Chains A and B, each alone.
Chain A
Amino acid sequence: MNFTIFYTIISLSSLGILAGVILYFVAKKFKVIEDPRIDEVNEALPAANCGGCGYPGCRSFAEACVKATDLDNLFCPVGGNKGMNDVAKILGIEVVEKEAMLAVVRCNGSYKNRPRTNIYDGTTSCKIVHNLYSGETGCSFGCLGLGDCVKSCKFDAIYIDEETGLPVVDEEKCVSCGACVKACPRLLIELRLKGKANRRIFVCCSNTEKGGIARKNCVAACIGCGKCVEVCPFGAIEMRENLAYIDYKKCKLCRKCVSACPTKAIYEINFPPKKPKIEPTAEIKMEETN
């Protein structure tokens, strides 16, 4: 009976040796020769695999960086300028600094501003509701509030404010990867310049309906009156289909449009209060804390 142990040892070890030999030859034969810099660049990247760079993951972005001759069109929003500098150092090329961006939700249809006209009963997915109908309110452009953007965010940087029913972007956490921009079926989220001292001005509405109709459905809607276009000294605001749009590249943050807007659809964030104090509404307060 002692032979049983003997046989077992013999057969198992010979199996092990055989497998080892096979593995050795397979590894030799199918070895993939790779640029070692890909691994280095990959190390330097934040390994968030968010896809914000436009590539499926950090490794494929690293491959693209190594292949490319310059890094002008490649940018990792998570690592930011510092991360790209590291990558450039590894590859021995120069990189131009890019200004920090931030996701901005262009809708202010809070429960208060935009009354609900019907009840949606079903799966909580903005995409499903968007395919179904105009939404729980009269506005068919605004936020549906079901949180597709929240689900898409890998950095926990966006959440739905329970009081307003609108998504709020956390300035500290947002890395401007753009996942929420793609997730929003109504195209409400835009990546805008983070701005000096995080100061930003933007039109917080996406409704292209005529002023009266838009206003009827939501008191905070942009009615397309054009007053902001008139007061802007830099020509940064243009009117597209009853909706003002501020070009963040041209905007010098002078704040003239903010006071000119009759529906307070233009937002300023992180500015010190002006001397003749305007009573900040609940919504503006919310935006300031975001």
Chain B
Amino acid sequence: MSNKKLIVSLSPHTCGKDSVSRIMYDVLIALMPAFIVSMYMFGFGALRVTLIAIFSCVLFEYLIQKFMLKVKPTINDGSAMVTGLLLAFNVPSNLPWWMIIVGSFVAIAIAKMSFGGLGNNPFNPALVGRVFLFVSFPVAMTSWPVPILTRFKLVDAVTSATPLSIVKEGLKNNIATSELITKLPSYADLFFGKLGGCIGEVSVLALALGGIYLLYRKVISWHIPVAMIGGVALFSGILWGFNPEKYMDPMFQILTGGVFLGAIFMATDMVTSPMTPKGMIIFGVLIGLITVVIRVFGAYPEGVSFAILIMNAFVPLIDKFCKPRKYGFVKVKND
């Protein structure tokens, strides 16, 4: 017929609308409500940290891909932006600028690119960056600006403790929980985010909104968030049942310290989470367990980041043993 060359390839000849960048931009959109709340709470500080983190993450990825790996930079896929935003969400709003850049460097260069870039990293890059900062600069990472009051101050803001560190300190000094609660923000404040803490972790409501969006867009499934929050509630509930004066109640444990941020955005990171529903539930519940163990018995008041990173290491193992049920194996003849 015509002289034009036809294209030949194997089936399927059509493709769904999903793409890596669509997934990444969906995550960014889902993080927006939490970002807006953090802007309200921490003002310019939050904006400053977020912009520096995103910019430096994207820049590091670009530089490494362009000049070290000599491949086509893939910064347009949005994954570096997600890493930057998540890293920013995990640090206090008064962190010095150079620490943010160090954290971004660790996240992108060490945790992501050295393993082969997007898809090959065994650990969540943003969390590796956060934990690196946390271990290296414990003081800077644990002085939290007081929300709302410090909105227009950039660095030397008034700082306060997070509810979890108040509890940790209090319990160490043998103060009963019933007494401690009077010093803590109300559950409503915890829910809407009126408390000291990392930029993104304060408002449970905003994070849950983002989670619902991600579920609607089928970027994440319900298994990991539900299992992880359930896991935290379950194990802290067991301890609380034993001795309510010594251990905080499960509601408090869930609403504080980035459980929601971790459950919805960090643990569900596709690259570093299991692939089957069964594996996801095991993964989530164990993160919950480790979180409670670190919070209650460990030296740190918070445990979500460590718990997720520890479980990231077990993902290949979980994937190996939690396989999807294969077709044709249901009726095995007289085994």
Residues of A at the B interface (CB closer than 8 Å) are 116-122, 128, 132-133, 136
Contact = CB atoms under 8 A, between A and B. Distances in A.
B5 A120 contact: no
Contacts of A133: 8
B9 interface: yes
B7 interface: yes
A214 B6 CA distance: 21
Contacts of A128: 10
A121 B5 contact: no
8 contacts: A116-B5, A118-B5, A118-B6, A119-B7, A120-B9, A122-B10, A128-B10, A132-B10
Interface residues of B, number: 6
Contacts of A120: 7-9
Contacts of A132: 8-10
Contacts of B9: 120-122, 132
Contacts of B10: 122, 128, 132
Contacts of B6: 118-119
Contacts of A121: 7-9
Interface string B1-31: 0000111111000000000000000000000
A130 B125 CA distance: 41
A117 B5 contact: yes
Given A120-B7, A128-B10, A133-B8, 5 more contacts: A118-B6, A118-B7, A118-B8, A119-B7, A122-B9
A216 to B, nearest CB: 15
Contacts of A119: 5-8
B1 to A, nearest CB: 13
Contacts of A116: 5
A118 B6 CA distance: 5
B4 to A, nearest CB: 9
A146 to B, nearest CB: 13
A212 B260 CA distance: 73
A36 B54 CA distance: 62
A119 B7 CA distance: 5
Contacts of B7: 118-121
A132 B6 CA distance: 15
A134 to B, nearest CB: 10
A117 B6 CA distance: 8
A122 to B, nearest CB: 4
A126 to B, nearest CB: 14
B152 to A, nearest CB: 52
B7 to A, nearest CB: 5
A99 B7 CA distance: 46
A136 B5 CA distance: 9
A24 to B, nearest CB: 33
Report the 9 A-B pairs with minimum CB-CB distance, sorted nearest first.
A122-B9, A121-B9, A118-B6, A119-B7, A118-B5, A119-B5, A121-B7, A118-B8, A120-B8
Nearest to B3: A117
A121 B9 CA distance: 5
